[in-house]
Amino acid sequence: MKKTLVALAALALGATLNLAHADTIAKVKASGSIVMGVRESSGALSFTLGDGKFAGYHVEVCERIIANVAKAAGRNLETKLQPVTSQNRIPLLQNGTIDIECGSTTNNATRQKDVSFVVTTFVEDVRIAVKANSGITGIAQLNGKNVATTTGTTSVQHLRRHERASGMDFKEVFGKDHADSFLLLESGRADAFVMDGQILAGNIANSKTPADFRIVGEVLNVEPIAIMVRKDDPAMKKVADDTVRELIRTGELARLYDKWFMQPIPPRNMRLNLPASEATRAAWANPNDNPMESYARR
């Protein structure tokens, strides 16, 4: 009898976990809270202000989505913030630790096997950041250099695949997050940091001496950046997609973009001065969740 009860309890627990993973709206309705995955140093998309506070373009978009999730759940929801990294963001979404990820994740075909992406809100150019006095102006000067990137990201893969990198030999050094990768560049342990352009710009703007750094060289890849939700959860994805589409229709998404990429932002009231690219505006004009592979490299 004891074994039977244990087995039944395990089945019940499994059913509860499956419900939590497959139906986010039911999960948050039952718990009264929703967990937003946030990044500590993802440029103006998501960053920490300290004391457990986070801000950024995707943080605000997610707040709009969560307001509509609360309406769908029929109750007020407490929003809890959970910092995530490039390495753990997908596993934490899959296992129910977080319910939505509001960082700087590239939508690609491989990740689409594990998660669903909300319609694209930002299209990014992958670039190279260096010290201003380094003499490095592009890929050609990276041979024999240490190149920093963040563990769990795709940026150095694009560098290695670029035709101008053919035959080059450079060493990859890894930061655990974007701030750590920038510190590798700042401290001289890396000669370049390859990452999304706005993440590079955000870390430079918030450094002690922004004039000491610059973004240089060729565009290595064009990547759609999107908010993540759990896979096979059509109700949650519909709420999120509909929210973003409405933000686009009303012009609110463009206003949020301007707020975070063109105006002074905390904590140092620096401007990134990154106007919405042609590719970003095209994504707004035709809302979709197409992966990176559908974008032509520019």
> If the chain, 298 residues long, is cut into consecutive pieces of 10 residues, what is the mean pLDDT of each piece?
42 43 90 98 95 97 98 98 97 97 96 98 94 94 94 81 75 94 97 94 91 93 95 97 98 98 93 90 97 77
DSSP strand pairing (171-175 vs 115-117): unpaired
- Please name which of 174, 158, 40 lies closest in space to residue 104, comparing C-alpha atoms: 40
pLDDT at 118: 98
Model confidence, pTM: 0.81
> Which of these CATH numbers, 3.40.190.10, 3.40.50.720, 1.10.10.10, 3.40.50.300, describes 21-123+225-294?
3.40.190.10
- Three-state DSSP class for residue 52: coil
pLDDT at 161: 77
The residue assigned the tokens 């933000």 is: 247
Residue type, 280: T
Q: Do domains 21-123+225-294 and 128-223 have the same CATH topology?
A: yes
pLDDT at 3: 43
pLDDT at 103: 97
pLDDT at 254: 98
Both tokens of 206, joined, read 């918030």
CATH number for region 128-223: 3.40.190.10
pLDDT at 186: 97
Domain boundaries, the chain: 21-123+225-294, 128-223
Tell how many helices (H) and how many strands (E) occur in the chain: 10, 13
* CB-CB contact of 134 with 213 (8 Å): no
